[in-house]
Chain A
């Protein structure tokens, strides 16, 4: 199961993701991301992954696209943090 909730405190929009970010749930989260970005194109968007238990390849690719779109991540757990670290540093490489 996966659940995504969008909240805003005026300055920042937070997309909180819970559960498993796997292939079957990727379209749902991507849809949520697109709507959020379209609704607030200039806002800072934080994707909170602290309650994500597993990310597969498709989920990882989506996070990469979201990172391209300006998203920042909050992660917990060795695996999730390693995935986020790889995405950010892959982006940083020339």
Chain B
């Protein structure tokens, strides 16, 4: 029977318990150790932090095994280095955590090369380690140590080290027990490392999301709805009324009127603003793929389903789903959308698990859905489900008061981008822009202004006349009144004559009438010089005669 060994505490406040060799009371000692193993197992399940882990180990093991330092180190095989990750029992002079040490000349090098734990019963007889390391051991009076690899199926990722300030501190049973501990600690530290990586990835993804959303906002200026006329103000009031309610919204308007802009404004003003805005253009996806785009699919669900794919319903959970061109949604997909809207439930293609998604639907269309319902091209139940709060966007020709503001806005945007200084727009050019019919609405206006800025070399905006030439003839099938047809014909003649009414090459001669007759007709039809689109570029400096 060995004499009981006591030791002096190192550092203030550490609990010291007398230790008795297990031969005196073998059964009680084994019971204590197995209980300690159980406690450690329970602690390892919940602990993610290495510091907390080593502290728990200290509190559980210190009454059972004599050690003065307990260290968890990370092992980097590529760099052949070790770094201290957590230490218990340290005194103020212990080196800082995470300091990196070379592997060479350390007990860990011996451990890695031999593949076995390293036990040094008496450091004074040790010759394998570097002088620098031996000096550190001497400073801390470390006389005995046991180094065990933290190893899983992926290999060695760390080291658990017990150090004592007396020689021959550990028996064979002690060391066997420490190896049991190390096996459990290995799993816990690998989990902690994976947890750290997941957290880091999650933070990175969140940062990327914020960045990408900012990029989208700055690219398309979705939160800059330009204009102050009554038509736009009416729309903005509707948005402010409907956005916070969470109800489905149907945005109706011609192409190029800003439907997506309104949808994003609704999302931003809703209580889902911090969640994702998911968009799908139903016209842009082939009918055969739209179901998979919305529902998602499992691997092998169909030819081409090479992996699992999350659908837009799932992506939009807690956020907003914007379905643009909803009139193009295939008929067979409409009941599935209706079910998701009503129950929030769906299954991925090829899947049997029922999933749930809570999203707010904003839909948009430039088609007459009521007429489509009447023609059985759109389901009535789905129409009434999405048409809870309709918002109708006026075409640009019904918002002519906003055209000057829009023009200036786009000119400033493109001029800045192209580093041009454009300071004015000729009045006649602006009037032409105001009078144009804008079949493509704001998108068309934006494109024309962009082209104009490209073509402008001076400080006065130059607008290509051909871009604003109204398509003649009843391009949309409408029959014009006699006055409208005559007005158009006279304007064509004035354009051809560069605004000259009289003379051999004037408009009157082209039309085969007297100058006075033409002037009289012009007065009757309200044709003024400002309505004339000159054949040359508008606003290039020459004036109409």
Residues of A within 8 A of B (CB): 20, 22, 53-54, 56-57, 76-82
**Which residues on the A side are within 8 Å of B224 (C-beta)?**
20, 22, 54, 56
Is B416's CB under 8 angstroms from A77's CB? yes
The answer, yes or no, to whether B243 is at the interface (CB within 8 Å) is no
Is B412's CB under 8 angstroms from A80's CB? yes
**Which residues on the B side are within 8 Å of A81 (C-beta)?**
423
Q: Cα distance A54–B411 when bound, in Å?
A: 12
Interface readout for B206-231 with A: 1 if CB under 8 Å, 0 if not? 00000000000000010110001000
The answer, yes or no, to whether B405 is at the interface (CB within 8 Å) is yes
**Which residues on the B side are within 8 Å of A77 (C-beta)?**
408, 411-412, 415-416
Q: Cα distance A44–B412 when bound, in Å?
A: 28
Is B221's CB under 8 angstroms from A54's CB? yes
Inter-chain CB contacts under 8 Å: number: 36
Q: Cα distance A81–B412 when bound, in Å?
A: 10
Is A79's CB under 8 angstroms from B228's CB? no
**Which residues on the A side are within 8 Å of B228 (C-beta)?**
57
Minimum Cβ distance to chain B for residue A76 (Å): 8
**Which residues on the B side are within 8 Å of A57 (C-beta)?**
228
The answer, yes or no, to whether B422 is at the interface (CB within 8 Å) is yes
**Which residues on the B side are within 8 Å of A79 (C-beta)?**
405, 408-409, 411-412
Nearest chain B residue, comparing its CB with the CB of A20: B224
Is B411's CB under 8 angstroms from A78's CB? yes
- Pick the residue among A20, A53, A54, A78 that contacts B425 (CB under 8 A): A78
Q: Which of A22, A77, A80, A81 has the most CB of B within 10 A?
A: A77
10 contacts between A and B (CB under 8 A): A20-B224, A53-B416, A54-B224, A56-B224, A57-B228, A76-B421, A77-B408, A78-B423, A80-B412, A81-B423
**Which residues on the B side are within 8 Å of A78 (C-beta)?**
407-409, 411-412, 415, 422-425
Q: Cα distance A81–B416 when bound, in Å?
A: 14
Minimum Cβ distance to chain A for residue B9 (Å): 57
Interface size counted on chain B using CB atoms at 8 A: 18
Q: Cα distance A79–B416 when bound, in Å?
A: 12
The answer, yes or no, to whether B467 is at the interface (CB within 8 Å) is no
The answer, yes or no, to whether B486 is at the interface (CB within 8 Å) is no
Minimum Cβ distance to chain B for residue A91 (Å): 18
Known: A53-B416, A57-B228, A77-B416. A82 touches B223 (CB 8 A): no
Minimum Cβ distance to chain A for residue B476 (Å): 33
The answer, yes or no, to whether B271 is at the interface (CB within 8 Å) is no
Q: Cα distance A54–B227 when bound, in Å?
A: 12
The answer, yes or no, to whether B176 is at the interface (CB within 8 Å) is no
Minimum Cβ distance to chain A for residue B424 (Å): 8
The answer, yes or no, to whether B413 is at the interface (CB within 8 Å) is yes
Residues of B within 8 A of A (CB): 221, 223-224, 228, 405, 407-409, 411-413, 415-416, 421-425
Q: Cα distance A56–B416 when bound, in Å?
A: 18
Minimum Cβ distance to chain A for residue B376 (Å): 44
**Which residues on the A side are within 8 Å of B413 (C-beta)?**
53
**Which residues on the B side are within 8 Å of A53 (C-beta)?**
412-413, 416
Nearest chain B residue, comparing its CB with the CB of A23: B223
Minimum Cβ distance to chain B for residue A10 (Å): 30
Minimum Cβ distance to chain B for residue A37 (Å): 28
Nearest chain A residue, comparing its CB with the CB of B415: A77
Q: Cα distance A73–B411 when bound, in Å?
A: 20
Extra A-B contacts (10), CB below 8 Å, given A53-B413, A53-B416, A79-B405: A20-B224, A22-B224, A53-B412, A54-B409, A77-B416, A78-B407, A78-B412, A78-B422, A79-B409, A82-B408
Minimum Cβ distance to chain A for residue B446 (Å): 14
Q: Cα distance A80–B411 when bound, in Å?
A: 11
Minimum Cβ distance to chain A for residue B418 (Å): 12
Q: Cα distance A84–B224 when bound, in Å?
A: 18
Nearest chain A residue, comparing its CB with the CB of B425: A78
Nearest chain A residue, comparing its CB with the CB of B411: A78
Nearest chain A residue, comparing its CB with the CB of B236: A57
Nearest chain A residue, comparing its CB with the CB of B404: A82
Q: Cα distance A23–B123 when bound, in Å?
A: 71
Q: Cα distance A80–B413 when bound, in Å?
A: 11
**Which residues on the B side are within 8 Å of A54 (C-beta)?**
221, 224, 409
Nearest chain A residue, comparing its CB with the CB of B409: A79
**Which residues on the B side are within 8 Å of A20 (C-beta)?**
224
**Which residues on the A side are within 8 Å of B424 (C-beta)?**
78
**Which residues on the A side are within 8 Å of B416 (C-beta)?**
53, 77
Minimum Cβ distance to chain A for residue B491 (Å): 28
